Structure 1
Amino acid sequence: MSEVIEKATLAKETTPLLANLSTLQKNTALKLMADALIEHKDSIIRANEKDLERGRENGTSTSLLDRLRLNSERIDAMAEGLLQIIDLPDPIGDVLEAFDRPNGLHIKKIRVPLGVIGIIYEARPNVTVDAAGLCLKTGNAVVLRGGSSAISSNERIVAVLHEALSKSDLPADALQLIINTDRSSANEMLKLNGLLDVLIPRGGHSLIQNVVKNATVPVIETGAGICHTFIDASADLSMAISIAINAKVQRPSVCNSMETLLIHQAFADQHLDAIVNALTENNVELHGCPETVKRMPSVIPATKEDWDTEYGDYTLNIKIVNELDEALNHIRAHSTMHSECIVTENSAHAEKFLQQVDAAAVYHNASTRFTDGFEFGFGAEIGISTQKLHARGPMGLPALTSTKYRIYGNGQIRG
């Protein structure tokens, strides 16, 4: 029996117990997990340093190393995410509808766990904790398959969480980590119908598309983020610069960072040099449309492929557009339906943008970096869904549930 099947089977066997744990039992387990992360912080950091060292030896980019890095503050944040999940309402058992039929049947629609959730992800070890906390709070077992770049960190984190779970009423086998990081283990999970109830991929475009195109297990598609910010003619210069810098520079390796900046030509006439200089001062490499390069020769000419590239780094495209509709058309052509922003003082333009842009999160005068479960008040998140079925946007606790109808009768039969 393969590692994947063995661990998925162990996870599956815990689901009857998980589905019937009380909120208090689940919250107690989450508190033990949070405390354990703090208690074992030093050993987690040591394990993470092994991953970082391998990454440096393999020439991993600075931005990807930042995704991988754990320090005291980030581990504190992981533990805080678990504590926030404790404070959130438990959706399991919520009655969504209740009604009576003319024949006397009483019908309730309630929230129930999905079952066993498989998560395939790459270089961010914080996902290990976020996924464990959200899945266990919702009565789901979880099978994690992280990338090779974070395997030492993930192994140590899961060992710490298992130790905490052993002191709780929640079975430790509900949390499984696949140690084999060969691509074959991920591909095996794609076909694990009957053991996995849903798959959630988190990572780059190629990983997500491999899962979406090849899985027979149901998939919730997440996260490829080619995010745009459009600076309208009426935008405030100070606000535009602040939002653009934050959206690109604050953490460029994540999926809600900006990859293309669209600028209205009237705004560019007055302020393009200020925008370009501010970005350049923040070490951003700029690729531009012909009009941008004509006005600012220091900008690298953008290729056709650049507009469809998720850089995840200090690289940004700039395009000058003649009007709002041109910006909307560009976004329609190149967006991954993740997060899009307009910076404008024109309320009619803002409303048109918010209505017409098809994305999970659409912003007026705020950075796309806010598309995040923590920032939305969901505690941690399992991912950002960019599809339209089941869940969309940052996925907190309710997104990890399904529904069940309970029907109460007194002997009714159908004629």
Structure 2
Amino acid sequence: MIPYNPWPGVLLRWGLLTAGLGVLGYLVNQLFLVLFLGTLIYLGWHLSNVARLEFWLRTDRRFEPPHGRGLWEDIFNHIYRLQKHHRQRRRRLIEMLQAFRESIDAMPDAAVVLRDDGEMQWWNSAAEHLLGLKWPKDAGLRLENLFRNPEFSEFIQRTYDKPEPIRLPSPVNESIVLDIRLVPYGRNQRLLLGRDVTRLQRLESMRRDFVANVSHELRTPLTVIQGVSETLVEADLEAADRHGLELIQQQAQRMGRLVEDLLQLSRLETSSRPADVAPVDVPAMLHSLRREAETLSGDREHFLQLDVRTQCQVLADEGELRSAFSNLVFNAVNYTPPGGAITLKWWCDKDGAHFSVTDTGIGIPAKHIPRLTERFYRVDRGRSTKTGGTGLGLAIVKHILQRYDARLAIESKPGVGSTFSCHFPIPMCYQDAAASRAG
């Protein structure tokens, strides 16, 4: 719909008025004087309407606009319509904001809106209970000044977009465990979310303790079974009896490896990063792992290639790092057909240090890749049983890497092969000056 245009009528009336004044001035023989007086009166009428409009806008004592005639009636009515539309829009926005705040306030998770400088702008009632915030006393303060925890202070100051969430005790009650994460939104704003995971933490702790206790209790009977079976295998027995004892010995050894892996995984889950980390000579470790992989390969005659492009070292526990790398290397040997190629690569770039194991094995379908690091998950149960794996190797690798802020990436294509890569961030890298000059 095209809005009404008042200007043709205004121009018509102005023309008729000018013509009438001109005729009157001609009749009284005072043309310029009459036109001048008429113009002054016309301008005075407009000025009085401008004054009424300014007074109405300045005082805003009533919603109804002042009454006017001609063009000013249209101006007053148009401003009134705009004002009415603005009031309705503002009322809708206030209602939407109120509904949004009520919905956020009803969340069981703590939610805190942080400005770009880290100051708190708003929070819900759950944040008051879980984080001890008080409105409006704490508004405008920095959260790390109230939540005095070194790990939290380091977390809140991280510059990248989505840092990994952390778990910390609540500053209000240390028995409450919070899962805290930062979500960027808007223009340089961040939303801090804190979820009470005390029950989940307790269940996970119970599960870890159960696995650790059961694994520990299994060690003694398994050791006895292995010892007795080895003694009986060496005795002078019939072939059928010897075969049965050898099966018992093999399965006991396999269960022993499973118990050791479960205990290692339990230690990784229940302990924090070792405090006495030191630079690990990764190139030397890879040379050693290559020799061990060649021994494991045996008559399968795999082609093992080592590509070391840097002498960069990693700040870690050498035993844990060796366990992670050896799991990947030995998996490649076990799942690559005889005569296949396996490449170990170590390099460094602006993002950090990287280790990869590439094989020409059977490959893994894409649907299985996201679940490979789950405990006991197997792509091919029959083949995995034959290789003697426990199903915990990649889970151990994942947990070891997480202790050093590293991550595991998997690329694979059935019938072509797989690449397992470990990516270490810059803070975990150590470049020895002498080694750098030698490289």
TM-score range, shorter chain: under 0.3
TM-score by length of 1: 0.23
Query: Which structure's CA Rg is the greater one?
Result: 2
**What TM-score results when the alignment is normalised by the length of structure 2?**
0.22
Query: Which structure is higher in helix share?
Result: 2
